[in-house]
Amino acid sequence: MSEFTAEQELKAYREMLLIRRFEEKAGQLYGMGFIGGFCHLYIGQEAVVVGMQMAIKPGDQVITTYRDHGHMLAIGMDPRGVMAELTGRRGGYSRGKGGSMHMFSVDKAFYGGHGIVGANVPLGTGLAFANRYRQNDHVCLTYFGDGAANQGQVYESFNMAKLWRLPVVYIIENNKYAMGTSVGRSSATTDLSQRGRSFDIPGEQVDGMDVRAVKAAGDKAVAHARSGEGPYILEMLTYRYRGHSMSDPAKYRSKEEVQKMRAERDPIEQVKKRILAHQLASEATLKEIEQEIKAIVNDAAEFAQNDAEPDPSELYTDVLLPLADAAE
């Protein structure tokens, strides 16, 4: 296991905590009726996106599914803009008209936010194709879930990515469930890192609860893709603590299973324990970081509750309409 420097541990701690606290706040605002529609929380999976982000450089693209808030925060998108999109306000990344699953930032090379399971995989492969076509040296991180890994379009993408040696890293966030269906119930083979074998795409399973393991695997996969060797698959073994979305009967797993994971494998607690054990920072410094994060999240929530809703005249702007309707 490659160890982190004190600086890296603290960075990982701060960024994972920001995601955790942001998601907790989003859950609260949902409960209070400020957020409507779909909302999929990332709590438990923070080490995946934070570790991968530490393995790429500015300009590398990221594309993911509807469980996307953590990705945006890790990339450095503004928490206010993300929260305001959740509450459907003007200051949101899609001006309040996209919601939780549909946010983008060309500035930060974040390409969404996609609601159709598996559909972002060919799009991510296309972004990698663009890198190759433009002869830049960027890599596209394409995230998807264990459920999505059974979709046909994933394999068409794998084929083209390998054929053209595209600079893409496929990150399968295996959180054990697709809505209420466990991997074992839905998948003929459950080692998802090997799903690229018939295309000769290398892959490995990674402890997705340990940010150091994620970063180390990310470094290797990104270097492979950047050097022109083509795609790489990382299966992140992770876990989501909350329900699939805000409505989830939670009958498909036991409370004990969730509790055990939280108690024994929590990605943030792991880092915190190491920081204190190795005296990389004091309890007081960690408290200060907690306070800073709390202030950022409260500010985002405040903004997202008070910002104006989009003007009704904006109803059709930036909305793709069929030509006949648009002409009316």
Ligand X SMILES: Cc1ncc(C[n+]2csc(CCOP(=O)(O)OP(=O)(O)O)c2C)c(N)n1
Binding footprint of Mg ion on the chain (CB under 5 A):
145-146, 175, 178
Backbone angles phi, psi at 276, to 5 degrees: -75, -40
Residue 250 binds ligand X, judged by CB under 6 A? no
Contact present, 38 and 66 (Cβ < 8 Å): yes
Which CB atom, from 157 or from 175, has the smaller least distance to Mg ion? 175
Residue 326 binds ligand X, judged by CB under 6 A? no
The H helix count followed by the E strand count for the chain is 12, 7
Distance of CA 264 to the CA centre of its chain: 22
Question: Which one of Mg ion, ligand X, none interacts with residue 113, CB within 5 to 8 A by kind?
Answer: none
Which CB atom, from 67 or from 97, has the smaller least distance to ligand X? 67
**One of 127, 178, 201, 214 touching ligand X (CB under 6 A):** 178
Residue 116 binds ligand X, judged by CB under 6 A? yes
Question: Which one of ligand X, Mg ion, none interacts with residue 319, CB within 5 to 8 A by kind?
Answer: none
Instruction: Give the C-alpha separation, 184 to 146, whole Å.
Output: 10
Q: Determine the interface stretch with ligand X among 25-33, 81-89, 172-180, 306-314 (rule: CB under 6 A).
A: 172-180
Contact present, 43 and 30 (Cβ < 8 Å): no
Residue 146 binds ligand X, judged by CB under 6 A? yes
**Cα-based torsion angle of the residue sequence 204, 161, 188, 148 in order, rounded to the nearest 10 degrees:** 90
Which residues inside 39-98 make contact with ligand X, applying CB under 6 A?
A: 65, 67
Contact present, 198 and 170 (Cβ < 8 Å): no
Q: Which residues contact 160 (CB under 8 A, 6 or more apart)?
A: 125, 129, 166
Minimal distance, residue 248 CB to ligand X, in Å: 10
Residue 187 binds ligand X, judged by CB under 6 A? no
What residues does 170 pair with on adjacent strands?
Answer: 142, 233
**One of 100, 175, 205, 238 touching ligand X (CB under 6 A):** 175
- By beta-carbon distance, which residue lies closest to ligand X? 145
Q: Report the Cα–Cα distance between both ends of the chain, in Å, rounded.
A: 62
Q: Determine the interface stretch with ligand X among 12-20, 98-106, 173-181, 266-274 (rule: CB under 6 A).
A: 173-181
Run of H or E including 261: helix 255-265
Chain positions contacting ligand X, by CB under 6 A: 65, 67, 115-117, 145-148, 173, 175, 177-179, 244
